[in-house]
Amino acid sequence: MSPGPGARTPDARTVGARGPGVRTPVGRAGSRAPAARPGPDGLRRTFEAVPARTSAEGEPFADSWWGRAWVDALEGLSLDEGRLARGRAYADSGHVAAITVTPGRVVAYVHGSRPRPYRAEIRLRVFTESGWDTLLDAVAARPGHFSALLARTMPHALVDTAEGAGVRLLPAVDDLDPTCSCPDRALPCKHVAALCYQTARLLDTDPFVLLLLRGRGERELLDELARRNAEHAARERPEAPEAPSVAAREALAERYLPPLPPPLPVPTLPGRPPAYPELPGSRDPLALDQLATDAAARAHAILTTGRDPLAGLSAWQDAVRLAAAGPTAGLTATTRALYRELAYATGRNTTDLARAVAAWRQGGAEGLAVLETPWDPPAGPFDRARPALAAADFPRFTPWRNHLTHPGGALQLRFGRDNLWYGYEADPGSEDWWPRAMPGTDPVGVLLALLGR
């Protein structure tokens, strides 16, 4: 018998790679389905060779009940237990090469006692169009069956539903038609038996293999079941009562509408909420107080202005804002705990957060941007700053982007995109700059504030 379309005749390399003497024992845990290569239309699936394994005497070859039903159909064909035993040994020893499944047949080359393997094939009756229509309608009417197929299982209820609709899903003895290129005329021969046992292992983990043998591919089935399932759900949904009809002239006629009631008065800005009890293992109650107060203040701002004050803030900006809302005179134990949590949540350290808080208190989100993002200002106020500082008897400042640095290295002015000057200080010779003083439009005034004059 010649190979079917798409089948590959093994050459000396493929035969030698998996000869009858090769045996790699694999236990039951190793019986997962091999990788499959789907065809372009979903109606051909080629599974890599199932690895060898060991099975105990009398142990079922298939794990699933539907896989065992497939084996039962094969064994019902044979009156020769010896051939079945040799076929099972071939399957256990990994003599079955890649298996190709198409509608109505499963084909593989099986290594026997000769150098050239034999082509074994099992044919199975496919469903007619009316049979598929009956089966799919019955399955779609029960969402649990659809879910089971998606989970790669085949419950007894699904098979019972199919049989109740007149469709026999699992094969019987008279459904299987085995052939083989070996000289043994027995049906089935040991090569076909080996192929059948290995096919049962494929069915164990993927019942869609059986459905493909019956004539439909997985993608086509899932799409059709989803469509029919939605149709069933729509038919079972109770119809909404029909809305009463209104004439257009009546709907558009002018009528008296009473004035709207006046809006409720805006509540006063909420203060701190009542203290939360401190429970073992719970969050710090003072931190919860602060978060609740912040949420209330945000809601009040939205209610009174129609704008969200936090819109557009990044997680880092919001963390800095929350930390900046705490006490300004020293860090309490609660504030230190808040700093640690906020710094950890944003991937920073507490020093970074403290510096950013100082910038936020100096100028809000713009102050934080001045701290973190140098930029190149256009000609204008930035260029006029150095002559103004020189006229006030200050030494020549060194410019870099939007920074002007005192030659002593301890004072710095930074120009923001809001056209304000921000003062910074550092220890002499250090680049550890910290925001100081309030920003202003006059660089000389900001510098004098830095110097405490």
Q: Domain end: 198, 215, 234, which one?
A: 234
Half-sphere exposure for 248 (CA within 13 Å, toward CB): 0
166 shares its domain with 82: yes
Mark whether 325 and 302 lie in a shared domain. Answer: yes
Domain containing 318 equals 284-373
Is the bond preceding residue 265 a cis peptide, omega within 30 degrees?
Answer: no
Give CA–CA dist 98/104, Å, rounded.
17
> How far is C-alpha 396 from the chain's CA centre?
58
> Whose structure tokens read 């879910």?
147
Nearest Cα neighbor of 322 from 302, 297, 285 is: 297
Decide which of 373, 396, 428 is a domain's last residue: 373
pLDDT for the residue numbered 71: 86
The verdict on residue 347 lying in a domain is: yes
User: What's the whole-number average pLDDT of the chain?
Assistant: 81
Number of domains into which the chain is organized = 3
Give the residue from 190, 172, 221, 70 showing the smallest Cα distance to 118. 190
Residue 359: what pLDDT? 95
Contact indicator for 436, 414 with CB cutoff of 8 Å = no
Report the pLDDT value the prediction gives residue 330, as an integer from 0 to 100.
58
Tell me: the pLDDT tens digits for 372-421? 999 999 988 899 999 999 999 999 999 999 999 998 889 999 999 999 99
Task: Evaluate whether residue 142 is within a structural domain.
Answer: yes
Q: pLDDT, tens digit, for every residue of 170-222? A: 888 788 889 999 988 887 889 999 999 999 888 888 888 989 998 988 888 88
Asked if residues 428 and 409 have their Cβ atoms less than 8 Å apart, the reply is yes
Question: In this structure, are 441 and 400 located in the same domain?
Answer: yes
Residue 261 lies in a domain: no
Residue 98 lies in a domain: yes
Question: What mean pLDDT do residues 263-270 have?
Answer: 77
What is the Cα–Cα distance from 91 to 181, expressed in whole angstroms? 18
Does 391 lie in the same domain as 428? yes
Nearest to 369 by CA among 356, 383, 350, 385: 356
Q: By the 8 A CB rule, do 426 and 432 touch?
A: yes
| CB-based contact 113:20 (threshold 8 Å) | yes
Q: How far is CA 452 from CA 35, 343, 375, 391, 415, in A?
A: 76, 32, 28, 19, 20
CA distance 205 to 50: 13
Predicted confidence band of residue 255 (pLDDT cuts 50, 70, 90): confident
Are both 185 and 309 inside the same structural domain?
A: no
Mutual angle of helices 350-372 and 333-345, in 10-degree steps: 60
Name the more confident of 235 and 443: 443
Beta strand extents in 143-262 (DSSP E only): 176-180
Q: Which of 373, 393, 428 is the last residue of a domain?
A: 373
Q: Are residues 160 and 31 in the same domain?
A: yes
- 164's enclosing H/E stretch is helix 156-164
Q: What is d(CA 338, CA 332) in angstroms, rounded to the nearest whole number?
A: 10
Closest by CA position to 363, among listed 301, 280, 421, 313: 421
Do both 108 and 179 map to the same domain? yes
Q: Are residues 227 and 84 part of one domain?
A: yes
Biggest CA–CA distance in the chain, Å, is: 114
pLDDT of residue 184: 86
Residues 309-349 have pLDDT tens digits of 777 889 899 999 888 887 665 566 667 777 888 888 889 99
With respect to residue 275, please indicate whether it lies within any of the assigned structural domains. Answer: no
For residues 400 and 410, membership in a common domain is answered with yes
* Opening angle at CA 202, ends 139 and 42, nearest 5: 60
Tell me the pTM.
0.46
Q: Is 307 in the same domain as 202?
A: no
pLDDT tens sequence across 52-110: 776 666 677 778 888 888 888 888 877 678 888 888 889 888 899 999 999 999 999 99
Over the stretch 21-59, which tens digit does the pLDDT of each residue have?
333 333 343 445 566 666 667 788 888 887 777 666 667
pLDDT band, residue 243 (cuts 50/70/90) = low
Residue 260 falls inside a structural domain: no
Type of residue found at 359: A
State residue 355's pLDDT score: 93
The pLDDT of residue 308 is above 60: yes
Cα–Cα distance measured from residue 231 to residue 233, given in angstroms and rounded to the nearest whole number:
5
Question: Phi/psi at 35 (nearest 5 deg)?
Answer: -65, 145
Q: What percent of the chain has pLDDT over 70?
A: 82
In a domain, 279, yes or no: no
Indicate if the pLDDT at residue 439 is higher than 90. yes
* Separation between Cα atoms, residue 153 and residue 235, nearest integer Å: 27
In a domain, 188, yes or no: yes
Confidence class for position 369, pLDDT limits 50, 70, 90 = very high
Whether 202 contacts 209, CB under 8 Å: yes
| Same domain membership, residue 384 and residue 369 | no
Same domain? 175 vs 312: no
94: left (phi over 0), alpha (psi -120 to 50) or beta: left
What's the pLDDT score for residue 20?
35
Residue pair 209/152 in contact (Cβ under 8 Å)? The answer is no
